[in-house]
């Protein structure tokens, strides 16, 4: 049987004729995450000694991958699957990250260079400065990831890179680097959806997590509730009509004069521990909207007004303020966090009901993205999820915030089912136009969840990942039908 596989990036992809890969797709790898440690470059590396893959007797998947027309033996599919090795590159926002992950879920290396100082200086992400910072460190981050995995590019099976959503200027740095590596070493590429990567990394840490499942993805720029039917196929149950919860955490931290070097969220979470969460009365957003959408712009305004009312000076650091002022700040932090999370709780409860109507077999709810590293968020959402007889799956904090592992892993998941692009040319013209998708929805909107409050700003929105994959699958089906008719 010959199958045609169309990839995630129609503008740059051809198709590959790739026999036998459906066998690989059906395998569920045994997942294993190595323990990690930090080094001076905010790098996480394995603590266990590594057997060098190049010295293993495994077949070199890379060499035969593209041009095989059936000679390759896939009968031992687990073996081949486990020995895939993918480099993942992530530069969609302010973290420059790279990681190398094996097909069995083993994290061989993880490197992150954060733009902490820039974040503190600008109180948020400034695209031009962020792009320059990515450009300065990208080569070193990727090289570090290879070194720490004890590998060279020749050991890789593919390169995965985030192509959206995110800041174009920043995405470009990662995509350019990925294409250089892939072009020079003749490696296939997988274009990864950043939010899908946040969701799927949960499958790397939780072996039981199979489709369909629900996911709440909460980060600095996104706040989405999705039903994951299968790889690449999502129904969007709800999204934010304005700001995401991470943006509200960041602004609250900035206005409270907190140290932004680890981003605003952790600073608010820490200060909230000292405060009385019921002392400042904030309204829970969108109480009257019986949908699963979110809004954080109004809560931000409520927080700003409370800060002004208490005459808090954001230029005065927490360490040098009075006890009373510190208590006021802590009360606002705690009250904000309580209401921000209550909003998540209410919408998640409804979304689970909707999801169970659509897919009664759901057993898990994933909560991922930077804000999911927050302990209070995890605790509160765990109650909601358990009350609905589901199990909460939260990746560890280092895999909730942006990282290269989630990109490598998502690349692996798609690569295994044949969704990849052929290697780019070794030398690419300077004016090559990259396929970047700054505004790229993950799923198709659920009709019941459509919000009237939602902005109609749809300009430059890319078709969703789900619609692209559905179109490719249906094209593939048609091609197979034609081939079958010709044979018979």
Strand partners, 236: 226, 445
Q: Are 99 and 85 contacting, i.e. CB atoms less than 8 angstroms apart?
A: no
Pick one of ligand KG4, Zn ion, none as the site partner of residue 146 (Cβ within 5 to 8 A by kind). none
- Cα end-to-end span (Å), the chain: 14
Q: Are 294 and 245 contacting, i.e. CB atoms less than 8 angstroms apart?
A: yes
Q: Which stretch binds ligand KG4 (CB under 6 A): 13-21, 281-289, 320-328, 369-377?
A: 369-377
Q: Are 376 and 341 contacting, i.e. CB atoms less than 8 angstroms apart?
A: yes
Please report whether residue 247 would count as binding Zn ion according to CB under 5 A.
Answer: no
Among 188, 221, 418, 423, binds ligand KG4 (CB under 6 A): 221
Instruction: Return the number of the residue (6 or 249) whose C-beta is nearest Zn ion.
Output: 249
Please report whether residue 165 would count as binding ligand KG4 according to CB under 6 A.
Answer: no
Spatial neighbors of 315 by CB under 8 A, at least 6 apart, are 257
Please report whether residue 220 would count as binding ligand KG4 according to CB under 6 A.
Answer: yes
Q: Restricting to residues 190-219, which ones interact with ligand KG4 according to CB under 6 A? A: 219
Among 53, 103, 191, 266, binds ligand KG4 (CB under 6 A): 266
Give the integer Cα–Cα distance in Å for 247 and 254. 10
Compose the 375-414 pattern: x for residues touching ligand KG4 by CB under 6 A, - for all others: --------------------------xx------------
Please report whether residue 421 would count as binding Zn ion according to CB under 5 A.
Answer: no
Compose the 80-99 pattern: x for residues touching ligand KG4 by CB under 6 A, - for all others: -------------x------
Quote the DSSP letter at residue 240. B
Q: From the CB of 369, what's the least distance to Zn ion, in Å?
A: 6
Please report whether residue 113 would count as binding ligand KG4 according to CB under 6 A.
Answer: no
Pick one of ligand KG4, Zn ion, none as the site partner of residue 401 (Cβ within 5 to 8 A by kind). ligand KG4
Please report whether residue 402 would count as binding Zn ion according to CB under 5 A.
Answer: yes
CA atoms within 13 A on the CB side of 166: 30
Q: Which stretch binds ligand KG4 (CB under 6 A): 56-64, 144-152, 171-179, 244-252?
A: 244-252
Q: How far is CA 132 from CA 95, 119, 122, 129, 179, in A?
A: 12, 13, 14, 5, 19
Q: Which residues of 402-428 are buried (b: 16+ CB within 10 A; e: fewer)?
A: bbbbbbbbbbbbbbbbbbbbbbbeeee
Q: Are 335 and 280 contacting, i.e. CB atoms less than 8 angstroms apart?
A: yes
Please report whether residue 275 would count as binding ligand KG4 according to CB under 6 A.
Answer: no
Please report whether residue 113 would count as binding Zn ion according to CB under 5 A.
Answer: no
Nearest to 441 by CA among 214, 170, 217: 217
Phi-psi region of 45 (alpha: psi -120 to 50; beta: other; left: phi over 0): beta
Give the integer Cα–Cα distance in Å for 278 and 275. 9
Please report whether residue 265 would count as binding ligand KG4 according to CB under 6 A.
Answer: yes
Please report whether residue 373 would count as binding ligand KG4 according to CB under 6 A.
Answer: yes
Among 105, 246, 395, 424, binds ligand KG4 (CB under 6 A): 246
Binding site for Zn ion (CB under 5 A): 219, 402
Footprint on this chain of ligand KG4 (rule: CB under 6 A): 93, 219-221, 246, 249-250, 263-266, 269, 369-371, 373-374, 401-402
């Amino acid at each position: 049987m010959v199958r045609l596989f169309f990839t995630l990036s129609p503008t740059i992809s051809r198709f590959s004729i790739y026999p036998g890969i459906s066998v690989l797709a059906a395998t569920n790898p045994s997942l294993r995450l190595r323990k990690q440690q930090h080094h001076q470059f905010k790098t996480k590396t394995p603590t266990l000694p590594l057997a060098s893959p190049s010295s293993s007797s495994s077949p070199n998947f890379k060499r035969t991958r593209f041009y095989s027309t059936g000679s390759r033996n896939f009968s031992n599919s687990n073996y081949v699957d486990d020995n895939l090795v993918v480099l993942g590159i992530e530069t969609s926002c302010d973290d420059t990250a790279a990681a190398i992950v094996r097909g069995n879920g083993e994290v061989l290396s993880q490197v992150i260079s954060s733009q902490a100082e820039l974040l503190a200086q600008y109180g948020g992400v400034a695209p031009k400065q962020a792009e320059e910072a990515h450009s300065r460190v990208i080569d070193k981050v990727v090289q570090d990831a290879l070194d720490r995995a004890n590998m060279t590019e020749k050991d890789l099976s593919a390169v995965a890179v985030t192509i959206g959503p995110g800041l174009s200027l920043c995405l470009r740095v990662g995509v350019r680097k990925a294409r250089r590596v892939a072009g020079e070493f003749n490696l296939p590429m997988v274009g990864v959806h950043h939010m899908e990567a946040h969701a799927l990394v949960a499958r790397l840490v939780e072996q039981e997590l199979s489709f369909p499942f629900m996911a709440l993805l909460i980060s600095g720029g996104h706040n989405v509730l999705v039903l994951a039917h299968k790889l690449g196929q999502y129904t969007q149950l709800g999204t934010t009509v304005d700001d995401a919860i991470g943006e509200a955490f960041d602004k609250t931290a900035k206005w409270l004069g907190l140290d932004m070097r680890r981003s605003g969220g952790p600073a608010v979470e820490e200060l909230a521990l000292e405060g009385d969460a019921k002392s400042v009365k904030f309204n829970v957003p969108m109480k009257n909207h019986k949908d699963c959408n979110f809004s954080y712009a109004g809560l931000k305004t409520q927080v700003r007004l409370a800060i002004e009312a208490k005459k808090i000076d954001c230029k005065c650091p927490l360490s040098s303020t009075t006890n009373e002022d510190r208590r006021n700040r802590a009360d606002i932090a705690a009250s904000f966090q309580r209401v921000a999370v209550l909003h998540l709780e209410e919408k998640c409860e409804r979304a689970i009901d909707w999801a169970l109507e659509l897919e009664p077999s759901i057993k898990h709810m994933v909560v991922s993205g930077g804000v999911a590293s927050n302990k209070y968020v995890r605790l509160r959402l765990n109650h909601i999820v358990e009350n609905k007889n589901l199990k909460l799956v939260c990746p560890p904090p280092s895999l909730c915030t942006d990282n290269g592992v989630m990109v490598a892993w998502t690349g692996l998941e798609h690569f295994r089912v044949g969704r990849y692009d052929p290697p780019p040319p070794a030398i690419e013209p300077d004016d090559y136009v990259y396929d970047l998708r700054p505004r790229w929805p993950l799923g198709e909107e659920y009709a019941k969840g459509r919000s009237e409050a939602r902005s109609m700003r749809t300009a430059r929105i890319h078709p969703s990942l789900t619609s692209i994959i559905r179109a490719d699958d249906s094209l593939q089906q048609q091609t197979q039908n034609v081939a079958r008719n010709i044979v018979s």
